[in-house]
Structure 1
Amino acid sequence: MANGKKYFGTDGIRGEVGKGVITPEFVLRLGWAAGRVFSKQGRGKILIGKDTRISGYMFESVLEAGLAAAGCDSLMVGVIPTPAVAYLTRAFHCDAGIVISASHNPFYDNGIKFFSADGTKLPDEIEFAIEAELDKQIVTASSELLGKARRIDDAHGRYVEFCKSTSGYLNLEGLNIVLDCAHGATYDVAPKVFRELGATVQVIGVSPNGQNINEQVGSTHPAALQKAVLEHNADLGIAFDGDGDRLLMVDHQGQAVDGDELLFILAKHLKQKGKLDGGIVGTLMTNLGLEVSLKKLGLELVRANVGDRYVMEQLNERNWIVGGENSGHLVCKHVTSTGDGIVAALQVLCALRETDQTLAQAKTGMRKFPQVMINVKLAKKLDVLALPAVQEAVARAELELAESGRILLRPSGTEPVVRVMVEGEDVTQVKSVCGSLAKQVEQAVANT
């Protein structure tokens, strides 16, 4: 992998069930390896949660067996959002937390994510240590040292109370909301949070069957929520992804409000309250419109690499509190330790309540720039950005856009393509520049 690791990507280990490493045999070894690493300071204690995929039952069992073989105890919390595992890992003083989920991917994929004892993503050195153990033969601890497993029956209630507390127990009476839970991990807890805070709540995507997670619902398929908001004459809608760490919102007119626009609403509100110094962390894909709008507020936008891990690194380095991705993975560090769809939604609702604005009104201070992206296929592994012809083509395109646009060439981490992205004020110019640049990149690749 590009990060120098054999198995871990930017967000754990993920793939199609039954293929590659996403097999019962590998996950058993992964549980043992993690148990070995986390129990080196004594008897380890690991919290395990999952989303609604049918394969979660299988991987939950083998993970627990692997941990037990290494002498590590397991606390099982069942189906629960990924950020809930981060919170509960801290609350139960565990050595680590594990989530069985492939987030917004279809049901036939699955993966394993880890959290540290303080509810953050694992540092590189721990992931390298787990990988080192994975290459060893499993050695079962002696019988008196084997780990035990127990279920935590009140995990959902604890997380619901935590979410409510992050908003200062915001009063949502009089607010009509539609929630789309993607047939995923938020299907039970999210409606409880918003109803207990007083909102009138309509729900879709709350009937998981193990195979319908993210299927035409959730933050990656907003059409279902847009339709439901209009049908119910709701004030707004909130969609989560399969594991609950992302969100997308829909205003009363049925218009989608993405992560960049939600970041603008949060930043503007926190700035007005005197709680935001410095700026916001976005990514290479963050819309130029957000950068321009933040500048008008006297706030800086710093772009991290794509991935919430890199957003969090920049937030920690600068001691800033808010950042995220246009996909809706938002981090509110002043109230929690990781990206959390429910908590981020509540922070947006706090801003709307305190300013007495609708979602549509709150986002008007930001105009998204038109953005066009074309994928150029690669027949072989190639450092496209190092090709002189590509560098020259990018320089010419940047000259044409002048100060009114931005160009990004980004190799995909999952497909043999390079993404050519252009954004700017004029949509006609953006389309023209992107199309021309993509052809030049394609030609340069063909000539190597």
Structure 2
Amino acid sequence: MIKFGTGGWRAIIGDDFTRENICILAKAMADKMKAEQVADQGLVIGYDRRFLSKEAVMWSCEVLTAEGIVCHFVNRSVPTPLIMYYVMKHGYPYGMMVTASHNPALYNGIKVFTAGGRDADEVQTADIERFIGQVKPEDIRKIEYGEAVSRGLVREFYPMNEYLDDIMEKIDMEAIKQAHLRIALDPMYGVSETALSTILISGRCDFNVIHQEHDTLFGGRMPAPARDTLGLLQNFVVDKYCDLGIATDGDADRLGVIDDKGEFLHPNDILVLLYYYLKEYKKWNGPVVRNLSTTHRLDAIAKRYGEICYEVPVGFKYISAKMSETGAILGGESSGGLTVAGHINGKDGVYAASLLVEMVAVTGKKLSELIKIANGLCGERYMEERSFRFAEKDRERMLRLLFEEKGLPDMAGFQVDHVSYEDGCKVYFADDGWVSARFSGTEPLLRIFCEMRTQEEAVGMCNRWKAYLGL
């Protein structure tokens, strides 16, 4: 089974993530490129540090080159946004990245990027799945990898410098040099260390790195920069008197931040901070985009500046598309992914981290000070997030309850303004609070998000939904 979710195809290694399925996907991509008459343009392909990632690239190349498609292979583990950047910058029709991003270590997967370095949308992924359904095992041909290299059908290269130069041209490196910042970096055993270390060294920062070695088990943790995974980084920031701590997920497209007091800054806080910085200090004009599971504090701060905050479904492709449509200067999600106008058409934890370092340098203020200022403009709100695993039989029951019967828990004490079923079920309250329930597009999880006036209200509302859905 090869099915694409909000972040590409992801599957358990040895279960559905197998050499056979990888080759089927590669053949389907070759057939699709031929049908679109872009096969002669080739594609860009890369990988992260997960188990079998490099091998999966090589297996893909063996099939793609047998179909006459030249593979431009970034031959070291690199951040996902580097592949997106290269596809965009050099006009390739497609790119592929072997990664399962922030999923547990037993997963791997493949992301597909389309022209402009964009995440493949539903139309594209449905088309890929259609071609997958037409592939017969006997139709799959291969050229041995070494032979494909010797024949020039696989061209190995390493465009890290080009990617980093582009980022550093967009960042105020002189301000960073003058600030003499002390930074702690946690790549979470992933692929961001080379990129971020190079930028921090260029900015004359004093920094230390933890969890930089290659570990396909990610130290036994989820490679996701969240409150419950960054305890060691928090301690390091406090012990070493750092100005901030930076963490990135397994493929470096998501960001986690620890402030100067050792406090975890939720991705919602980071989005509010960066929008404030872009408007107040860089004097950029334009709206902001968020997905439906992300804080409405962005709506409030945008309103303070006379701008609009647009809401889209979960999946970064929606954020990128809405930014292009509206001229937004920032787009992001509560899971730590964000992008800024003028960079790539997708999320980039390396660029986002660099912009945060610039913000601290330019403002001359601590992160703990800046978040207080930003919150003063948009007001305090409290977020509660829950994720629940479930059996397949429970999925059908919950789908029926939420989307066929359209039932809701007891909402006593709260005035419902309206309900949306655009992506999952989201209830909007009259006081701007909200709660959403939706199935993950990358794991067998039901996610409940709630933002209310108090933490107690947010926790209580999540508990109501948990009880109602029998979780």
CA distance in 1, matches of 2:368, 2:432: 26
2:401 pairs with 1:384 = yes
**Contact map agreement 1:17 1:23 (CA 8 A) in 2:** yes
Post-superposition CA distance 1:252-291 (Å, at most 9, x none): 10011222111112211222243122x2111221123343
1:72 partner SS: coil
Change beyond 3 A, Cα 1:127–1:423: closer
What amino acid is aligned across from residue 278 of structure 2 in structure 1? Answer: L
Structure 2 distance, partners of 1:294, 1:16, is 41
Residues 181 and 240 in structure 1, CA contact (< 8 A), matched pair in contact too: yes
- Matched with 1:326 is 334
Aligned-pair CA distance for 1:196: 1.4
Counterpart in 2 of 1:7?
A: 3
What aligned pairs does 1:30-429 form with structure 2 within 5 A after superposition?
30-39=25-34, 40-77=37-74, 78-134=76-132, 135-137=134-136, 138=139, 140=141, 148-152=153-157, 154-173=158-177, 174-212=180-218, 215=221, 219-220=225-226, 221-272=229-280, 273-277=282-286, 279-364=287-372, 365-366=374-375, 368-373=380-385, 379-381=394-396, 382-386=399-403, 390-391=407-408, 393-394=410-411, 397-398=414-415, 402-403=430-431, 405-413=433-441, 418-429=446-457
Unmatched segments (≥5 aa) in structure 2: 418-428
> Are 1:12 and 1:112, in contact at CA under 8 Å, matched by a contact in 2?
yes
Counterpart-to-counterpart distance in 2, 1:64 and 1:192:
30
Deviation at 1:217, TM superposition (A): 6.2
Residue type at the aligned position of 1:31: A
In the alignment, the residues of structure 2 paired with residue 374 and residue 128 of structure 1 have an alpha-carbon distance, to the nearest angstrom, of 30
**RMSD value, Cα:** 3.0
Percent identity over the alignment is 25
Q: CA deviation at 1:396?
A: 6.3
Structure 2 SS opposite 1:390:
coil
Do the aligned partners of 2:291 and 2:313 also contact (CA within 8 Å) in 1? yes
* Segment of structure 1 superposing worse, 142-151 or 408-417: 142-151
Q: List gaps (5 residues or longer) in structure 1.
A: none
Task: Provide the C-alpha distance between the structure 2 equivalents of 1:346 and 1:50, rounded to a whole number of angstroms.
Answer: 22
**Given the superposition, is the C-alpha separation of residues 338 and 170 from structure 1 closer, same or farther in structure 2, using an over 3 Å criterion?**
farther
Matched residue type, 1:156: M
Take 2:163 and 2:343, find their aligned partners in 1: how far apart are those partners? 13
* Bigger Cα displacement from structure 2, 337-346 vs 265-274: 265-274
Distance change (3 Å), C-alpha of 1:82 and 1:426: same
Structure 1 stretches (4+) deviating beyond 6 angstroms?
Answer: 141-147
| Partners of 2:31 and 2:331 in 1: CA distance | 34
Q: What is the Cα deviation at residue 247 of structure 1? A: 0.4
Mapped partners of 1:283, 1:180: distance in 2: 26
* SS at 1:188 equivalent: helix
Residue in structure 1 matched with residue 420 of structure 2 by the alignment: none
Would the alpha carbon gap of residues 390 and 205 (structure 1) be closer, same or farther in structure 2, given more than 3 Å must change?
A: same
Q: What is the identity, as a one-letter code, of the residue corresponding to 1:275?
A: W
Measure the CA separation in 1 of the matches of 2:333 and 2:360. Answer: 21
- CA, structure 1 residues 383+25, in 2 after alignment: closer, same or farther (shift >3 Å)? same
Quick one: which amino acid aligns to residue 199 of structure 2?
A: V
Distance 1:31 1:83 in 2: 21
User: Per-residue displacement from partner, 1:54-103 (whole Å, max 9, x unpaired)?
Assistant: 21122011111111111111111120000001112234443321110000
Mapped to 1, the partners of 2:288 and 2:322 lie a distance apart of: 10
Equivalent position amino acid for 1:356 in 2: G
Other-structure match for 1:24: 19
Say which is worse superposed, 261-270 or 241-250, in terms of deviation.
261-270
Asked whether the 8 Å contact 1:287–1:368 carries over to 2, the reply is: no
In structure 2, do the counterparts of structure 1 residues 315 and 233 end up closer, same or farther at CA, with 3 Å as the change threshold?
Answer: same
TM (norm. structure 2) is 0.83
Change (3 A) 1:130 1:403: closer
Report the alpha carbon displacement of residue 123 of structure 1 after superposing the two structures with TM.
Answer: 4.2
Between 1 and 2, higher relative CO (CA 8 Å, sep ≥ 6) is seen in 2
- Counterpart of 2:192, as a letter, is T
Query: Which region of structure 1 is more displaced relative to structure 2, 318-327 or 158-167?
Result: 158-167
Output one character per residue of 1:290-343: Cα deviation in whole Å (capped at 9) or x when no partner.
433433333332221122122122222222121101121001122232210111
The one-letter code matched in structure 2 to 1:121 is D
